[in-house]
């Protein structure tokens, strides 16, 4: 099956179509396996879908008690005196998932997992990075970069971050059998989770990321934080290479800010400048990638159906004439 792109009218229509696709895949997977593993995203795009999925589970359309989940990312540097306060900060992705999905379910998932960013004290992290510059290197060609911590470090704190926070999350996903169905959104510059534009694909498992200034500014513009100074500047994130190891991937995007990145991800060559373009390689291996877009995000793709067809992309236009 080629890459499939479904174009919908608006956010409400996108949410319904995406929920039907994801629900169908969940039901299909649960027929084959005792339990399944979902990869989940935060942000505005999946919120309507999550509510519909919770309604479907609560009405008995599928058994949410046979699902465990892993989220893509979490901030480092949220306000709070300790890990617990940071974890339950209103802008933490743990809090988001409780509000948007987990808390809506009558039968809870077997287990939910969010990257362990709240365990890291940002002030200590910055201090250790400055004090031990030889323990790590930046990877990335743009403002947002992953921080690759070396195997042997002088900093016990950085060694702990690598072993427990980064490698620990990746190992837990592997122990669960890998992700059966991954839901992702897309950032304005084509990033998936906090795999920022310019970060290499190779080796992008679970990463410590210094955020792109654009990502930080967008968080402020979207009303998540009052100012750039009060916004987290680091995050823990699954990288594109790990994200696209999932057996099924469903990408959601809506709005004007996503037009360029969505278009480039399918029409241009694969490039770290647009991390979701890694899906082109994934589709050749896994052959199970679906985009669900509103008519704004999919505007340029609708006008280039022929060119997309030659690249193995099929468009299903569900928009109202």
In angstroms, the CA 270 to CA 256 distance is: 22
Task: Measure the CA–CA gap between 236 and 131, rounded to whole angstroms.
Answer: 21
Sheet containing strand 111-113, edge to edge, reads 111-113, 67-71, 36-40, 181-184, 249-253, 289-294, 3-8, 313-317
118 vs 82: CA distance, rounded Å: 8
For domain 14-292, which CATH number applies: 3.40.50.1360, 3.40.309.10, 3.10.20.340, 3.90.79.10? 3.40.50.1360
- One DSSP character per residue, 4-17 reads EEEEESSHHHHHHH
Q: What does the longest C-alpha to C-alpha distance in the chain come to?
A: 63
CA atoms within 13 A on the CB side of 98: 10
Label the pairing between strands 145-149 and 206-210.
Answer: antiparallel
pLDDT tens digit sequence for 160-197:
999 999 999 999 999 999 999 999 999 888 999 999 99
pLDDT at 124 over 70: yes
Tell me the three-class secondary structure of 52-95, residue by residue: HHHHHHHCCCCCHHHEEEEECEEEECCCCCCHHHHHCCCCCHHH
What pairs with residue 291 in β-bridges?
Answer: 5, 251
For residue 222, what pLDDT is reported? 84
**How many CB atoms are located within 10 Å of the residue 153 CB?**
19
Instruction: Tell me the per-residue pLDDT of 23-36, one tens digit each, with 9 for 90 and over.
Output: 999 999 999 999 99
156 exposed, middle or buried (CB, 10 Å; 0-12, 13-18, 19+)? Answer: exposed
CA atoms within 13 A on the CB side of 291: 32
At residue 287, the pLDDT reads: 79
Over residues 287-294, mean pLDDT: 94
Mean pLDDT of 89-95: 95
Q: Other C-beta atoms within 10 Å of 33: how many?
A: 12
Q: What pLDDT is stored for residue 80 in this prediction?
A: 87
Q: Which residues of 83-100 are buried (b: 16+ CB within 10 A; e: fewer)?
A: eeebbebebbbbbbbeeb
- Cα–Cα distances in Å, from 92 out to 74, 76, 80? 7, 9, 11
- Which helix H or strand E contains 146, and what residues bound it? strand 145-149
Instruction: Give the pLDDT of residue 1.
Output: 59
Average pLDDT estimate for 277-303: 93
**Kind plus residue range of the DSSP H or E element containing 32:** helix 11-32
C-alpha span between 292 and 72 (Å, rounded): 19
| Residue-averaged pLDDT of the chain | 95
Contacts of 191 by beta carbon, 8 Å cutoff, 6+ apart: 144, 197, 212, 215, 275, 276
Mean pLDDT of 141-148: 92
């Amino acid at each position: 099956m080629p890459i499939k792109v479904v174009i919908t009218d608006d956010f409400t229509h996108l949410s319904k179509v995406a929920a039907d696709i994801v629900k169908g895949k969940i039901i299909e997977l649960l027929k084959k396996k005792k339990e399944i593993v979902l990869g989940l995203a935060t942000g505005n795009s999946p919120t309507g879908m999550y509510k519909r999925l919770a309604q479907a589970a609560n009405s008995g359309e599928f058994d949410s008690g046979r699902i465990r989940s892993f989220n893509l990312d979490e901030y480092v540097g949220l306000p709070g005196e300790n890990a617990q306060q940071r974890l339950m900060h209103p802008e933490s992705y743990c809090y988001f998932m409780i509000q948007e999905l987990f808390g809506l379910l009558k039968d809870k998932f077997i287990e939910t997992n969010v990257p362990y960013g709240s365990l890291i004290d940002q002030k200590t992290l910055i201090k250790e990075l400055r004090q031990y510059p030889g323990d790590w290197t930046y990877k990335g060609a743009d403002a947002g970069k992953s921080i690759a911590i070396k195997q042997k470090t002088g900093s016990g704190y950085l060694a702990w971050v690598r072993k427990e926070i980064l490698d620990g999350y990746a190992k837990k996903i592997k122990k669960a059998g890998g992700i059966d169905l991954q839901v992702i959104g897309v950032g304005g510059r084509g990033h998936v989770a906090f795999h920022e534009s310019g970060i290499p694909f190779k080796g992008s498992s679970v990463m410590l990321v210094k955020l792109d200034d654009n990502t930080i500014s967008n968080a402020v513009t979207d009303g998540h934080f009052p100012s750039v100074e009060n916004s987290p500047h680091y995050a823990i994130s699954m990288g594109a290479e790990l994200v696209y190891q999932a057996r099924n991937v469903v990408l959601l995007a809506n709005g004007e800010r996503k037009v360029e990145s969505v278009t480039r991800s399918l029409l241009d060559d694969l490039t770290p400048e647009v991390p979701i373009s890694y899906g082109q390689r994934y589709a050749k291996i896994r052959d199970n990638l679906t985009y669900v877009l509103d008519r704004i995000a999919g505007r340029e793709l609708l006008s280039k159906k022929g060119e997309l067809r030659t690249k193995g992309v099929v468009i299903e236009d569900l928009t109202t004439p």
